[in-house]
Amino acid sequence: MSLNLERNSKWMEGSGPQADIVISSRIRLARNLKGMPFPNLMNEAQEAKVIQLVGQAIRTPGVFQAVGELKLMPLRELSPVERQILVEKHLISPDLAEGKGEKAVVLRDDEALSIMVNEEDHLRLQCLLPALMLHEAWRLADAADDALESELDYAFDQDKGYLTACPTNVGTGLRASTMLHLPALVLTRQAGEILTALTKVGVAVRGLYGEGTEAQGNIFQVSNQITLGRSEEEIINNLSAVTVRLADQEREARELLRKQSRWQLEDRVGRAYGLLTNARILSSQEALQLLSDVRLGVEMKILRGIDQRLINQLMVRIQPAYLQFAAGREMTPFERDVHRAAMVRELLAG
């Protein structure tokens, strides 16, 4: 299975509930195989065995009929740039991309469903959908999990639940998360206080690429911190409620900006659009920030004629690995900045 440069992941569609603020919803399930050491203790032969078992499971006739065809891709067959593209599309973690030994990823054609094999756990099953669709993502992830469990013997304890490498995932093994665009809360200096308060009620706040990353382009990921002692439904309902509340607070902040700083807001949006459609050199960080301002302008009807889907696609296409893959060669940072600016100009002008 080869990477398709033209394929856009399902989460990029830009439509659905709360899509003006919520970019995507993700459900991730951590699972391990009974009788096998956790990945950090496995040798390469054991890693290869896990990949073999997963490959056999997804190829079993009829097992995955409800969730669609899945294909397994050993990471050793991919170049570093191709691995990084999977990170940039939020399909695998940086740890999996950079890890040594036998590792793999399983993908559905629309990339709504992916499974990391031999990351922190033997299996990290993920469903990633656009907008606020946590319940829909859970149904798809649960169906895929049931299909896998019919073929694989999971490590499970009647009292503790699913056994995982990290104690914080023991229980349901479920992490639910949403990715939100919160520029108005940042501009009105409310984001710090609001997001800090979330950590006190069991919600983690991270950057664009998850744990250990900073928020870029005013994009934040919020997720549950507790998996033990709570049902999947409780976790998902709680995070959905938190996400809706954050979206409401962002809308309130946007209206405040419209009333109190209309000209400054329109000037900021206009300048961002002008730079993106005329710049000859753009770093990825600058491009993300300018895209954030343009996205805000689109969402507040200051700019018209720009598809939200295009902005989501640009979030990936401006990244270093994607640019190099599209060019078919390695590039220096300066070359990437020049190519990034040209690509953004072309797509926004089109």
- Give residue 87's identity as a one-letter amino acid code: V
Question: Look-up: residue for tokens 């094999």?
Answer: 117
In whole angstroms, give the CA distance from residue 124 to residue 104: 11
CB 144 within 8 A of CB 112: no
Establish whether 27 is an annotated binding residue: yes
CB 100 within 8 A of CB 75: no
- Give residue 30's identity as a one-letter amino acid code: A
For residue 261, the surrounding DSSP H or E stretch is none
Positions of E strands within 65-173: 70-74, 104-108, 113-117, 123-130, 156-157, 161-162
Establish whether 124 is an annotated binding residue: yes
Establish whether 175 is an annotated binding residue: yes
Establish whether 206 is an annotated binding residue: yes
Judged by DSSP in three states, 168 sits in helix
Establish whether 24 is an annotated binding residue: yes
For residue 7, the surrounding DSSP H or E stretch is none
Question: Which own/partner contact pairs does 1-8 have at CB distance under 8 Å and 24+ positions apart?
Answer: 1/71, 1/72, 1/73, 1/107, 3/78, 3/82, 3/85, 3/86, 3/325, 5/325, 5/326, 7/109, 7/111, 8/309, 8/313
Establish whether 59 is an annotated binding residue: no
Q: Which two tokens stand for residue 90?
A: 């939020």
CB 209 within 8 A of CB 94: yes
Establish whether 25 is an annotated binding residue: yes
Establish whether 211 is an annotated binding residue: yes
Establish whether 331 is an annotated binding residue: no
CB 126 within 8 A of CB 114: yes
Q: Please, which residues bridge with residue 136 across strands? A: none
List Cβ neighbours of 350 (8 Å cut-off, separation of 6 or more). none
Q: Which two tokens stand for residue 56?
A: 């056999």
* Phi, psi angles (nearest 5°) of residue 21: -130, -40
Question: Look-up: residue for tokens 């004629």?
Answer: 305
Q: Parallel, antiparallel, or unpaired for β 104-108 and 161-162?
A: unpaired
Q: Using the 8-state DSSP alphabet, how is residue 196 labeled? A: H
The binding site for ATP comprises 24-28, 90, 124, 175-179, 206-211
The binding site comprises 24-28, 90, 124, 175-179, 206-211
